[in-house]
Chain A
Amino acid sequence: NAGVTQTPKFQVLKTGQSMTLQCAQDMNHNSMYWYRQDPGMGLRLIYYSASEGTTDKGEVPNGYNVSRLNKREFSLRLESAAPSQTSVYFCASSEYMLIRGNEKLFFGSGTQLSVL
């Protein structure tokens, strides 16, 4: 099993450009998440999807949109990239976030994004 797969691994954008980060999991998990990681800031939740068909904002949703395409796939879109969005982005999944004990997160390998 591949687990959680993210693409691309690296991306450089110019300010104002748009792009979509792709994420897919093959563990039949219900819940999926997008985090960003900045030096000294830990992991901050951007958006999450508790189950197929639902999405909700996390701590830092401004400037992002998400789509839960199906149970396997959860994409993150930057409509107009800004330098403040330079970060490492991690997709994660869990069996089902709303049931205690099923919240163990499996992370993808990350996307290093630079916005110039």
Chain B
Amino acid sequence: GQQVMQIPQYQHVQEGEDFTTYCNSSTTLSNIQWYKQRPGGHPVFLIQLVKSGEVKKQKRLTFQFGEAKKNSSLHITATQTTDVGTYFCAGKSGGSNYKLTFGKGTLLTVNP
């Protein structure tokens, strides 16, 4: 079945440093979503990417979808303590309409 691998599992940075998490799928994806979960909270939708090679920005966050639609990345520039949390990617393959498969997430901690 479809697998979505996410690395790294943990990342600790100093405030102001950059951060990147990567997501790789074993199959071609029709779209990919990113979610953020604050400690003790619930996942909150950040963005959805649909097109091959797509790049989207939200302030200090940059999201990319690979040309082959099998990988994606989230890059945060100049991290802040408010960025702390677990970032999940979730991919949907074209052949199974319901199956949004989540990666295991990357836990980001930021040292002020």
Please pick, from A43, A48, A97, A110, the residue contacting B102 in the complex, using a CB distance under 8 A: A43
Query: Which chain A residues border B31 with CB–CB below 8 Å?
Result: 100, 103
Complex Cα–Cα for A90 and B41 (A):
10
A42-B102, A104-B33 known; 14 new pairs, CB 8 Å cut-off, are: A41-B104, A56-B98, A90-B43, A100-B30, A100-B31, A100-B50, A101-B50, A103-B31, A103-B33, A103-B100, A104-B45, A104-B48, A105-B90, A107-B44
Within A63-116, which residues are at the interface with B (CB < 8 Å)?
A: 90, 97-98, 100-101, 103-110
Query: Which chain B residues border A101 with CB–CB below 8 Å?
Result: 48, 50
Query: How far, in Å, is A36 (CB) from chain B's closest CB?
Result: 11
Complex Cα–Cα for A98 and B50 (A):
15
Q: Name the residue on B nearest A104 (C-beta).
A: B45
Q: Are A105 and B42 in contact (CB under 8 A)?
A: no
Q: Are B102 and A98 in contact (CB under 8 A)?
A: no
Interface size class of B (residues with CB under 8 A): 20 to 34
Are A43 and B50 also in contact (CB < 8 A) when A103-B33, A103-B100 are?
no
B65 at interface (Cβ–Cβ under 8 A)? no
Across the A-B interface, give the 10 residue pairs with the lowest CB-CB distance, nearest first.
Answer: A42-B104, A107-B42, A43-B102, A42-B102, A104-B45, A107-B43, A98-B97, A109-B42, A110-B42, A42-B105
